Amino acid sequence: MIGRGGYANGGYQPSRPKKERKLTFVSRSCPDSQHCSGVNSLELSRDGACLFSAGRDSTIKRWGLKTPGPTFECSLEGHTDWVNDVALLDNTLLSCSSDTTVKVWRGNTGECLRTFARHSDYVTSLVVAPLARKFISGGLGGEVFIWDLESALGVSDGIRFNEGQPPLEANGHKESVYSLAVNETATMMVSGSTECSLRVWDPRTGVKQFKLKGHTSNVKALVLDASGRRCLSGSSDNTVRLWDLGQQRCVQTFAMHQDSVWALAVDPSFTKVYSGGRDKQVFVTDLHTRSSVLLFKEEEPILKLCLEPEATGGDVWAATNSSSIHKWFSPVMEADDPSSGKGGGGWGARMFSPGTSPYNQGRAPRLSTAPHFLPPPVQSTPTATIPGAPSIVQHTILNNRLHVLVQYSSGAVALWDVTRGEAVARYGNVSFKEKEEELQEQVSMASWFTLDTRLGSISVTLEPPSCFSAEMYAIDLNVAGASDELKVNLGEQVL
């Protein structure tokens, strides 16, 4: 006979001890409507009515663009580290993160539908092929996974029928993958890595077709045209290259940037490319005339560029190391022909030729660079801004193991109470070092938590048994009605 406890003869048996787990919580000093660290990626809906931003604060924000100014709609939270990329497939939002996962969300509600944990390291890039209903993820582990959306979700005709099918893996990378591109029908895929080359794949089979060499550093950005025949690449070697995949060669090299190229965007006709990166500058280059113009300059390195649909203006959204997002006006290049001689500050006066004409097979490209003294950018002020909050850039845990002194990117210094998860004092723009020396006490307290500010805010991790090793008198914690002898375990107090 089996008793209530599940053991023969009803005898009592002690339950199996539960596995101890560490707990991490984040204390943010800004509202949900603001990022508090850099923005790694942007994605616009096809109609231009909605913008998604992926932050280093581990959140994704959705912004409405139908009103004259961008409006906050919701915050998608579920990742535990930087969100490195986002992509839309109709109304389904996909995201990848340094927490090694890929997540699938309902774009209109923010509900997380599924989390995939196939990658062995940070997932850095994510692209979609909307007509084939596929998405592709790549990361620092060198893996490239090709997913069928419905199969991965285990859904057919809107009905879930199983737990989902595993993705197809494109094997071949020996080093970290930083960039991906695929055409809309998923007949051609390109990946870029720290191997300084482009690998071209058939995403239907996961088989590598060929490799393209030419860059001398990490390939950080890729764009394919709709046919899958032409590809643009941006690299940490400061160049943008145009490739003919049919001929399997580079046909143009542009060297307008003074530092690494991290972001590329092209217009629908694949005639103009927008490029940005570590030098904080964004150039627009006409691929037909091979003329470039400095469009604008940000205050921080540029991580992502996103073009609005032409029907809504075709303007450029830029994400940077800053928590704020800017929109810049993208005027028509008035002088597509530099010989038109437009002067007086017009486009003609600002144009220069950063590259060469297409060259014959076997002949080395002649590489020309941007002029030493660039004309001023076409624009100096963005047309719209989604403001972010200052991020924490340095911190010190005080000796009492209760308070943390932090400094924000704005220069302001504040004191946080770990047990309360909030700032208890703000000192303004003062010397961080002097304030630390002033507040430090000659006390000794057990180390009961670990802390980092990688997300731009305070992340506290409690791990047993050490998290229960520190005690303080209740009156020192301002516990109402506590006796002088009562001690409080700090770990228990937080939990």
Taking alpha carbons only, the member of 195, 249, 248, 247 closest to residue 217 is 195
Q: In whole angstroms, give the CA distance from residue 274 to residue 265.
A: 5
List CB contacts of 9: < 8 A, sequence separation 6 or more.
1, 3
The confidence band for 338, taking pLDDT boundaries of 50, 70 and 90, is very low
In the prediction, which pLDDT does 160 show? 52
Residues for the chain: how many in total? Answer: 495
Tell whether the model's pLDDT for residue 356 goes beyond 70: no
Q: Which amino acid is at 101?
A: T
Q: In whole angstroms, give the CA distance from residue 36 to residue 30.
A: 7
In the prediction, which pLDDT does 486 show? 82
Tell whether the model's pLDDT for residue 471 goes beyond 90: no
Q: In whole angstroms, give the CA distance from residue 495 to residue 481.
A: 21
* Under 8 Å between Cβ of 447 and 402: no
Residue 462: Cβ within 10 Å count: 20
Q: How far is CA 240 from CA 63, 183, 255, 281, 368, in A?
A: 31, 19, 7, 14, 12
The string of DSSP letters for 92-151 reads EEEEEETTS-EEEEETTT--EEEEE---SS-EEEEEEETTTTEEEEEETTS-EEEEEHHH
Tell whether the model's pLDDT for residue 343 goes beyond 60: no
- For residues 315-329, average pLDDT: 96
The backbone torsions φ and ψ at residue 233, rounded to the nearest 5 degrees and listed phi first, read -130, 145
Q: Exposed, middle or buried, 1 (CB in 10 Å: 0-12/13-18/19+)? A: exposed
Which of 18 and 409 is assigned the larger pLDDT?
A: 409
In the prediction, which pLDDT does 257 show? 94
- Sheet of 302-307: strand order equals 302-307, 316-320, 325-328, 384-386
The confidence band for 7, taking pLDDT boundaries of 50, 70 and 90, is very low
Tell whether the model's pLDDT for residue 210 goes beyond 50: yes
Omega of the bond leading into 465 within 30 degrees of 0 (cis)? yes
Strand partners, 276: 263, 282
Taking alpha carbons only, the member of 185, 355, 372 closest to residue 287 is 355
Provide the 8-state DSSP code for 268.
T
Q: Which two tokens stand for residue 33?
A: 């409507």
Dihedral (CA of 188, 270, 128, 36) sign: positive
Q: In whole angstroms, give the CA distance from residue 303 to residue 262.
A: 6
- For residues 85-113, average pLDDT: 95
Q: What does DSSP say about strands 302-307 and 291-297: parallel, antiparallel, or unpaired?
A: unpaired
Which of 355 and 110 is assigned the larger pLDDT?
A: 110
* Under 8 Å between Cβ of 397 and 406: no
Tell whether the model's pLDDT for residue 112 goes beyond 90: yes
Taking alpha carbons only, the member of 128, 124, 123 closest to residue 101 is 123
Q: How far is CA 201 from CA 127, 234, 348, in A?
A: 14, 19, 40
| Cα of 378 vs its chain's centroid, Å | 27
> Per residue in 393-441, pLDDT tens?
999 999 999 999 999 999 999 999 998 899 999 999 999 999 999 999 9
- For residues 32-40, average pLDDT: 96
In the prediction, which pLDDT does 319 show? 98
Which of 363 and 471 is assigned the larger pLDDT?
A: 471
How confident is the prediction for the chain on average, in pLDDT?
87
* Under 8 Å between Cβ of 156 and 150: yes
- For residues 89-108, average pLDDT: 95
In the prediction, which pLDDT does 311 show? 66
The confidence band for 370, taking pLDDT boundaries of 50, 70 and 90, is low
Tell whether the model's pLDDT for residue 14 goes beyond 80: no
> Per residue in 473-493, pLDDT tens?
777 777 776 677 788 878 888
The confidence band for 114, taking pLDDT boundaries of 50, 70 and 90, is very high
Tell whether the model's pLDDT for residue 283 goes beyond 90: yes
Residue corresponding to tokens 């006390």: 443
In the prediction, which pLDDT does 129 show? 96
Provide the 8-state DSSP code for 312.
G
In the prediction, which pLDDT does 302 show? 98
Q: Which amino acid is at 336?
A: D
Tell whether the model's pLDDT for residue 18 goes beyond 70: no
